[in-house]
Amino acid sequence: MLTREFLLKADCKTSFGDIDDALLWSCEQRAASLAATLACRPDQSPVWIFGYGSLMWNPVFEAEEVATGRLEGWHRAFCLRLTAGRGTATAPGRMLALKEGGTTSGLAFRLPEARLHDELTLLWKREMITGCYLPTWCELALEDGRNVTALVFIMDPRHPLYETDSCRQTIAPLIAQASGPLGTNAQYLFSLEQELGKRGMQEEALTRLAAEVRALQQQSQSAAR
């Protein structure tokens, strides 16, 4: 499990697995990215973070408020080749990101202004190890009727780890077998399925993907007996 303590102490080069030096961002690069993102902050209203994957069940950062939210114009897709964390370079899995089109339901976290930089620095260490996302200010519709501006981590299609093919037949075998220092790729998928179900946000495509991954794992276990 990725904990706050682990993340605070983590060495990005080694703690998440073997990351290619050409892909690994330095502390300075992450700091510059964060500074550039904050420089584009639309106004001085509270900063919200939109969680659509593991941030939903394991945010790690501190938040003063959590609310259900809906993001228009983007959808979940396992389009990020996973070579660390829950996969390796030789047996890569797939990580969730956002691609253009559709809508996404998730959780919005309002960060404390007094600790904003510390919490965002921790978040950048978690999400921007290789700079694979584009931190983007987006309008988010909260369930209670409020509209807020939130930071959203969207897939950068120019990144070397971006994969255009994220259809179920392609990614299910990868997710079924991939694992790394943070656990298995399949467990990430199952945790997401469980969290979405608990919150009434089920997505048919994701449910079908999880079912296929379970079937593949069962086949593999039967063949090994």
Active-site residue set = 127
In sequence order, what DSSP letters do the residues of 171-202 get, joined into one string? HHHHHHH-EETTEEHHHHHHHHHHHHHHTT--
Pairing mode, if any, of strands 183-184 and 179-180? antiparallel
For residue 16, give the nearest of 84, 82, 80, 83 by alpha carbon. 84
For residue 124, give the nearest of 54, 52, 34, 55 by alpha carbon. 34
Task: Report d(CA 34, CA 38) in Å as an integer.
Answer: 6
Which residue is associated with the tokens 């807020």? 148
User: Exposed (0-12), middle (13-18) or buried (19+): which is 168, by Cβ within 10 Å?
Assistant: middle
Task: Report d(CA 223, CA 215) in Å as an integer.
Answer: 12
Angle at 124 between CA 123 and CA 130, to 5 degrees: 135
The 3-state DSSP composition of the chain as helix, strand, coil percent (nearest 5) reads 35, 30, 35
Task: Report d(CA 26, CA 125) in Å as an integer.
Answer: 10
